[in-house]
Amino acid sequence: MELEFERVWLPYLYLYGVGGLIFFTGLIMVLKSPAYSHKRLKDRKWLGTLLFGYFWYAGMHGVGILAAIS
Amino acid sequence: MLPLLATLLSVPLQEGGEAASAAAMQAAAKAGGSPVFWGIVIGYFVIVLGFGGYFARFNRSTNDFFFGGRRFAWWLITMSIVATGVGSHSFLKYSSKAYEHGFSATMAYMNDWFFMPLFMFGWLPIIYYMRVRSIPEYFERRFNPGVRVLATISLLLYMLGYIGIGFVTMAKTLLPIVGPHLGLDLIQIVWIVAVVAGVYITFGGQTAVIFTDLLQGFILLFAGIVLFLLGLDFLGGFDAFWNALPDDFKLPLANFNDDPGFNFVGIFWQDAVAGSVGFLFMNQGLIMRFLACRSVSHGRKAAAFNVLFALPISAIAVANAGWIGRAITTTQPDLLPPETNPDSVFVHVTALLTSPAGFGFFVAAVTAALMSTVDTLINAVAAVTVNDIYRPWMKRKGVESNDKHMLRIAMMVSAGATIVGVFTAWLFSQFAQLYEAHAFFQANLTPPLVAAIFLGIFWQRFNSIGAVATLIGGAIFIVLGVKFPETLVAPFSHNIPLQDGKSYIYIGAFYNLVACFSIGILATFLSSKPSDKKLEGLTMWTVDKARHAFKGGTPNDRQGFKMPVRWEVHEELPDGAIVVDQETMEGLAAVEGDLIYICDKRWWLGGLRSTHGNLRGSHQHGEVAHVAADVAANGHFLAGKMVVLEKEM
């Protein structure tokens, strides 16, 4: 399919760039706050889940775009 | 599977999957005159009402009525959140945009993860451990009573707006079906819907709502996916469907900034930012769901499972009628003409693909879920009005009021909210499409509250003056932005053209958020710091104090196990007391004074028969829990049924 880069990838880069800035800023704030304790196993598991979620969605949208343009 | 579904729900198919029915619009109108259709619709409503009525028995106080008593498992709350989201305006709204723009209509369902860290570790523990029952209550505790009043007004406007959107959606669903027969217009149907909603509200409270949501959440997801399968079957398979869609339709994200009516960057700020924070942090219905969870951990599980797995499935369920509709328009325009009103695509496609009985099931599922959503919102308006306005007012007058009186007031407020909802419905009906109406409402109403809550939770320096400036000053700047978009909003517009040359629908949210945050930050720096007392447990930086306050002492973080035991009532024990043997105590990794969650052993009850208590020492009588009379009553435990004990925190 012939679509311009701006139509296909610019929204994706903006979503996971600006969205990523929000997400990772939030994550760093959590890690620096007393709400999170690395000693608590549950907290470490939730940290893993949060990171998984970001890449899960980035992957889903990426695969969706590749399927559309292939 | 497909032939079975086709037999049960759809129109008879001829060879090649072509429908023998007339065009889609006639099919919808024809169903409106079918006794089978109305029999299915009314039967469905009666079943759902009876289901909710059964669970209303589990209310013992206004605490149960409004909050469900902090007892439910994560999977119940997940389905309740799914039903709240999918069962609102989603089917009509997203099918409409999917018909016009394809897969990118799912954007709003697929951009909710960015604020999850701050929700899971910030807002959720704060509301749960500090027992914050409403947004206004948070504002009073974090700031002062004046800010609470402002927040209450903002929140009531927000919820009344959503009630109006619910009414418009129901009316738009029914218009193509009953309109041709009764000669009614949209607003006349809104009035009928509002009257039915008034009767429909069972006052069953939060427990009834959560269990009705469980039923409806499953039915809606099932119905949405079945509709997609029927559509694929109708078109002749997935390849035929895929090839019938224009190339641009297949992209999961919309054009960046070309189309003022639907563009990626505007929807990012309106939905992924303002909408996500609005949904996660200031939706009273959602707060009530999370307060009904058995623990913070279960609340996190509910939120994570919902966003990671339930929302992508829901996105397909609610939008696919639009995709199928577009494929039908491309291949068989005589069945669904290109000029079809996008807001009625869901109804027309469903009517085209199903028999009157199947169509009755789909329409009943969507309208009953909408009724539940409106019901929940009206319940939330009543909760805020009773707890944030009426109760404090009575307290100031020195009048003690009982639960029965409060419930009567809640019912009167509910009736008033229904009438106001009709008027907001009229306002929303002035927009060309439901999607635009909702987006414009969300972009312009949520930012002041979003900014004030956000700064309150995550910035300790933020004070009462900053909060007042955010709520009042922010609202003023938003009004100015709507009046003078080319001057104020254009610099934030990412070069999106004006809609009809006069307003921005989505990107206004970006300007509004910048204005509200800027005013709040500026006003805070120009005034003094808040006292430490105002921060304890109410910001992410002091949430450890919230855990302390919840426990009434130092939290015990030692990892324990769930312990199944028999139970018996000991009348001499003080309220809330639970006493267990030494071995059980060690298994729980608990000490005297710890909070204990006690639940019927049957997991599939989801916590319906459960409650909380305090561990008051140990006994020498084997693996049996001695519980106070009120613990047994609040838990609705059945004699002879085992319970499971679990240490909280």
Q: DSSP of B8-27, one letter per residue? A: HHBPPB-GGG-B-S--HHHH
> Which member of B114, B125, B297 has the closest CB to residue A23?
B114
Q: Looking at the domain assignment, is residue A1 inside a domain?
A: no
Q: Which two tokens stand for residue B99?
A: 């018909």
DSSP H or E stretch at residue B448? helix B447-458
Distance CA B503, CA B506 (A): 9
For B347-381, write each residue's pLDDT tens digit: 989 998 988 889 998 889 888 888 777 867 887 78
Q: How many Cβ atoms are within 10 Å of B17's Cβ, its own excluded? A: 15
Q: Which of B3-17, B426-440, B449-463, B549-563 has the lowest mean pLDDT?
A: B3-17
Query: How confident is the model at residue B463, as a pLDDT?
Result: 94
Give the 3-state secondary structure of residue B416.
helix
Q: Pick from B306, B350, B303: which is nearest to B328 by CA?
A: B350
CB B145 within 8 A of CB B395: no
Distance CA B66, CA B82 (A): 19
Domain count, chain A: 1
* H helix runs in B183-275, sequence order: 186-200, 205-235, 238-244, 264-267
Mutate to test the interface with A, among B101, B251, B267, B459 (most CBs of A within 10 A): B251
Query: How confident is the model at residue B205, as a pLDDT?
Result: 67
Residue B79's Cβ-side half-sphere holds a number of Cα atoms within 13 Å equal to: 19
> Which member of A11, A50, A68 has the closest CB to residue B116?
A50
Are the beta carbons of B118 and A30 separated by less than 8 Å? yes
φ, ψ for residue B2, nearest 5 deg? -60, -45
Query: How confident is the model at residue B59, as a pLDDT?
Result: 58
Q: Pick from B374, B46, B85: which is nearest to B221 by CA?
A: B85
Please give the average per-residue pLDDT across B457-482, as a whole number.
95
Are the beta carbons of B103 and A12 separated by less than 8 Å? no
Summary mean pLDDT of chain B: 86
Query: How confident is the model at residue B60, as a pLDDT?
Result: 52
Query: How confident is the model at residue B200, as a pLDDT?
Result: 59
User: Does the pLDDT of residue B202 top 60, yes or no?
Assistant: no
For A44-54, write each residue's pLDDT tens digit: 889 999 999 99
Q: Which two tokens stand for residue B428?
A: 């929303």
Measured over the CA atoms of residue B144, residue B401, residue B634 and residue B606, the dihedral's sign is: negative
User: Does the pLDDT of residue B417 top 70, yes or no?
Assistant: yes
User: Does the pLDDT of residue B100 top 50, yes or no?
Assistant: yes
Q: Which two tokens stand for residue B411?
A: 């019912």
Going by pLDDT thresholds of 50, 70 and 90, the confidence category of residue B6 is very low
Q: Which two tokens stand for residue B567?
A: 């139970």
The amino acid at A1:
M
Interface of B with A in 266-285 (CB under 8 A): 268, 272-273
CB B104 within 8 A of CB B253: yes
Q: Looking at the domain assignment, is residue A2 inside a domain?
A: no
Interface of B with A in 498-517 (CB under 8 A): none
Give B6 or B459, the one with higher predicted confidence.
B459
Q: Alpha carbon of B151 to those of A50, B125, B446, B475: distances in Å?
A: 30, 21, 11, 12
Query: How confident is the model at residue B153, as a pLDDT?
Result: 87
The amino acid at A65:
I
Query: How confident is the model at residue B496, as a pLDDT?
Result: 94
Q: How many Cβ atoms are within 10 Å of B493's Cβ, its own excluded? A: 22
Burial class (CB in 10 A: 0-12, 13-18, 19+), B483: exposed
Determine the distance in angstroms separating the CA of B173 from the nearest CA of chain A, rounded to an integer. 30
CB B67 within 8 A of CB B409: no
Distance CA B285, CA B573 (A): 36
Instruction: Provide, rounded to the nearest whole percent, the portion of chain B with pLDDT above 70.
Output: 91
Give B423 or B188, the one with higher predicted confidence.
B188
For B216-251, write each residue's pLDDT tens digit: 888 999 899 999 999 999 999 999 999 999 988 899
Residue in chain B lying closest to A14 (CA): B265
Residue in chain A lying closest to B454 (CA): A26
For B148-158, write each residue's pLDDT tens digit: 889 988 888 88
Mutate to test the interface with B, among A5, A6, A13, A15 (most CBs of B within 10 A): A15
Q: What is the 3-state secondary structure (H, E, C) of B180-207?
A: HHHCCCHHHHHHHHHHHHHHHCCCCHHH
Structural domains for chain B: 2-10+17-519 (1.20.1730.10), 563-647 (2.40.40.20)
CB B317 within 8 A of CB B225: yes
User: Does the pLDDT of residue B201 top 70, yes or no?
Assistant: no
Range of the domain at A42: 7-69
Distance CA B427, CA B438 (A): 11
Q: Alpha carbon of B206 to those of B126, B287, B368: distances in Å?
A: 21, 12, 17
Determine the distance in angstroms separating the CA of A41 from the nearest CA of chain B, rounded to an integer. 9
Q: Pick from B284, B67, B286: which is nearest to B155 by CA?
A: B284
Chain A touched by B111 (CB under 8 Å): yes
Chain A touched by B407 (CB under 8 Å): no
User: Does the pLDDT of residue A1 top 70, yes or no?
Assistant: no
Are the beta carbons of B253 and A11 separated by less than 8 Å? yes
Are the beta carbons of A14 and B458 separated by less than 8 Å? no
